[in-house]
Amino acid sequence: MMKEFKEFISRGNVMDMAVGIIIGGAFTAIVSSLVADIITPIIGMLMGGINFSELAVTVGSAQLTYGNFIQAIINFLLVAWVLFMIVKAMNKMKRKEEEKPAEPEAPAEPPEDIVLLREIRDSLKK
């Protein structure tokens, strides 16, 4: 069982996925900070000094902080936009790679009967 686990863990796909998840987590923290600390305060200023983190509605004894929800939506849209731009760039690179002219293939070996006929022709010429 340990051997199988070791094989599973050492596969390239698993390691690539782990690196992607770690980088994604770090990227999400950066985007969250960008949204919470820069973008939403600017949007709040443009909308008359609204502080999104203070936007809330009290229902009974519960407080619904919909301002945080708005920040989460902005956060999601930014992450989705950046991922879209990355995928778009990757697709463009793939298309350029596919459009490269293919290296000329070596001519295929002629069938054996053609080779024999050529040998006979060459013998007759002599």
Q: What does 39-107 look like in DSSP terms, one character per residue?
A: IHHHHHHHTTS--GGG--EEETTEEE-HHHHHHHHHHHHHHHHHHHHHHHHHHHHHHHHHHSPPPPPPP
Number of neighbours of residue 6 by Cβ within 10 angstroms:
9
pLDDT tens-place string over residues 80-96: 887 788 889 988 988 88
How much is the pLDDT for 2?
85
Per-residue pLDDT band for 57 (boundaries 50, 70, 90) equals: very high
Distance CA 98, CA 92 (A): 10
**pTM (2 decimals)?**
0.53
Look up the CATH number of domain 2-125.
Answer: 1.10.1200.120
- Mean pLDDT, range 2-8, rounded to an integer: 80
What is the residue whose two structure tokens read 């909308």? Answer: 47
Quote the mean pLDDT of the chain: 83
- Mean pLDDT, range 45-50, rounded to an integer: 82
